[in-house]
Amino acid sequence: MTNKLKVEDYMTHDVITVSPEDTVADVIDLIHKTEHDGFPIVKNGKVEGFVSSMDILSSGQDDPVYKVMSTDLVVAHPDMYLTDAARVMFRTGVSKLLVVNDAGCLVGILSNEDVIRSQIERADPQKVWKLKKTLEVIHDIKVSVKRDKVHIDQLVPTQPKIHVDELEGRIYELKKGLTEPIVVIQKPHKMLLVDGHHRVIAAKKLGIDTMDAYIIVLGKSIPLGMERTAKDAGLHSLDDVKILD
C-alpha cells in the first residue's frame, strides 16, 4: 500500500456538464437545480471550456454557452498526486480542477472541498497495512485486505465511548459528503469496528445504512484482545457505545 493519494481517489466522477450550444438560461436553470456555481462545457466527450455564474452575469439568457465560456483552463490528470493538484489550485487561485485523461476527455472534477475531505479523519492505508502485518505476526495467520461497503448495523464496536462535540463534527462532515473509509476486522460471523466510531455513529444518526471500509479479513477464526475487551465492556452493538458531553 502507498500513502500517495491521487486525484482519481477523491475527484467527483459523476459530473454535470453542458454543451456549447446550450443557452445561458439552461445554465441558470442548472445552477438553481444543483446549487453548483459552474459547469464544464463538453462536446463529444472532450472538454471545450467552463462556464461559471460570473461568466453569465452580463449575458443575455438566449446567448449560447460557447460565447461566454472560459477556455483558459487549468486541468488535472487522474493519476496526478493529490498534493500536486492542491498546489496547482493554491497557486492559480482556482477552486475546481477539471480532470481529463490522455485523450482530453473529461473523467471527473476536483474541488477544494475534495482536497479538504482527503485530510479529514483519513484512514491512512499505512495504518491498515501495519495492523494487517501485526495480526499476521502475532497470530501466525494469513490476513487479506479489501475495500468494500459494510452495513453499519452489523458492526460490533471496540470503543466504549465517544464525545458529543466530535460526533457533531462528524455529522456535519457526513452531511457535506466529507467522509473517509472506516476500518473493520472481518471474522467468520462477526465484523469488528476498529477505527471510525464517531463516523459510524454519526452515520447511524443520519439514517445512513452502509459505509465505505477497509476490511481486514482473517484467514481463520482466532480470539482477539480487542474482541475480549469489547465483550468485557458489554459492547455488542453501536447502541452500547456511550456518548459523553
Domains detected in the chain: 7-117 (3.10.580.10), 125-244 (3.90.1530.10)
- The pLDDT profile of the chain, 245 residues, written as one tens digit per residue, is 445 788 988 888 889 999 999 999 999 999 988 878 899 999 999 999 999 888 888 888 899 999 999 998 999 999 999 889 998 988 888 888 999 999 989 999 998 877 876 665 455 677 788 888 888 888 888 899 999 999 999 999 999 999 998 899 889 888 877 778 899 999 888 899 998 999 999 999 999 999 999 999 997 888 888 888 888 889 999 999 999 87
Residue 136, judged by CB atoms within 10 A of its CB (0-12, 13-18, 19+), counts as middle
Task: Write down the pLDDT at residue 121.
Answer: 47
Concatenating the DSSP letter of every residue in 60-105 gives -TTSBGGGT-B----EE-TTSBHHHHHHHHHHHT-SEEEEE-TTSB
Task: Write down the pLDDT at residue 2.
Answer: 44
Query: What cell does 196 get?
Result: 471510525
Task: Write down the pLDDT at residue 227.
Answer: 85
- Other beta carbons within 10 angstroms of residue 175's beta carbon come to 11
Q: What secondary structure letter does DSSP report for 191?
A: E
